[in-house]
Amino acid sequence: MSVGQVDQPQPESSGGDSQTQPNEPESRLTIIQAIQQVMAQSGHPMTIPQVYEAIVRNHLYQFKADDPAHIVRNEIRRHCIGLDFASASPRKVFKFTGDGRYSVLDSPVLDKGHGRARMPRTSRRTKDIDDFKQQYEQYIARFKSRVLDEIRNVGPRQFEHFCRNLLSAYGFLQVKVTRFTKDGGIDGHGRLKVGFDYFNVAFQCKRRTRGNVGRPEISQFRGDIQGQYALGYFFTTASFTPEAKDYSVRRGAVPITLINGPTIVEIMLEKGFGVDKEDLPIYSLALDLIFSD
């Protein structure tokens, strides 16, 4: 391995008062600088647990990781002379002295045979995860649109039974669909348990591919259930006008819960209703575990 000496980085001056506040030194150290400091002060090779304990004891660095000792180990090995792997740094600061111990070099060296600089592992993984999340969000948006299109294509009676089953999946009891004709403006009814009480509920279904449900339809539904049911639910594959939303709750009248197309799909995903879910494993690189001494 070809190596050459590089200058020790000097801390940048911020101007003004150069006096350091009592609790500030550790906040200005990087993890590598903290490791260098404890090793230099020790004067003899140290194990990774000893380095980590010294950093914590002297408040040299504030960790933001679930396993901070592993972070110390990872950074020592990445900057250790003689170790070259995918995420290793070309700038070498430490050396392995045997028996699981490391010491700091008098001066950092640059591994000229290390090849081109690589993106740190954490950065590459973050980018991969971000790309994956973006693709996943796009997939979910397409999937929701597809589900809603399928529901809009069913017949009116099928949609009523769909809403009945959806309410049952959500925990409603004794949900039934009324006769297709002479239903009195009520497509179905059931019961909802809240605490120790049971409430009689009714629902109305409007399968639409265009046009939103307006206030007159909400008013008609409320009039049909007033005095018979405590709660009303209005389903549509479209949406509701602002006037309909404002009119859904009125003092002294039966409250009407409005459930539009996107909300229907959200309930389906939440309850696993009419959809299957696959659990995909997400892997994290941990090659340090196989490179251990």
Write the DSSP string, 34-60: HHHHHHHHH-S-EEHHHHHHHHHHTT-
Q: Which residue has the higher pLDDT, 280 or 197?
A: 197
Q: Which residue has the higher pLDDT, 201 or 120?
A: 201
The SS3 call for residue 227 is coil
Predicted confidence at residue 181, as pLDDT, reads 60
pTM: 0.56
Q: Give, in order, the Cα–Cα distances in Å from 173 to each of 158, 169, 196.
A: 20, 9, 14
Are 45 and 101 in contact by the 8 Å Cβ rule? The answer is: yes
The CATH number of domain 147-271, selected from 3.50.50.60, 3.40.1350.10, 3.60.20.10, 3.40.50.620 = 3.40.1350.10
Predicted confidence at residue 76, as pLDDT, reads 93
Q: Mean pLDDT throughout 77-82?
A: 90
The DSSP-derived string for 259-273 is: E-HHHHHHHHHHHT-
pLDDT for residue 161 is more than 70: yes
pLDDT per residue as tens digits for the range 253-263? 999 999 999 99
Q: Which residue spans of the chain are classified as CATH 3.40.1350.10?
A: 147-271
Q: How confident is the model at residue 179 (pLDDT cuts 50, 70, 90)?
A: confident
Q: Which residue has the higher pLDDT, 87 or 171?
A: 171
Q: Which residue has the higher pLDDT, 102 or 66?
A: 102
pLDDT for residue 118 is more than 90: no
Q: Mean pLDDT throughout 135-158?
A: 94
Q: What is the mean pLDDT of the chain?
A: 84
Predicted confidence at residue 290, as pLDDT, reads 67
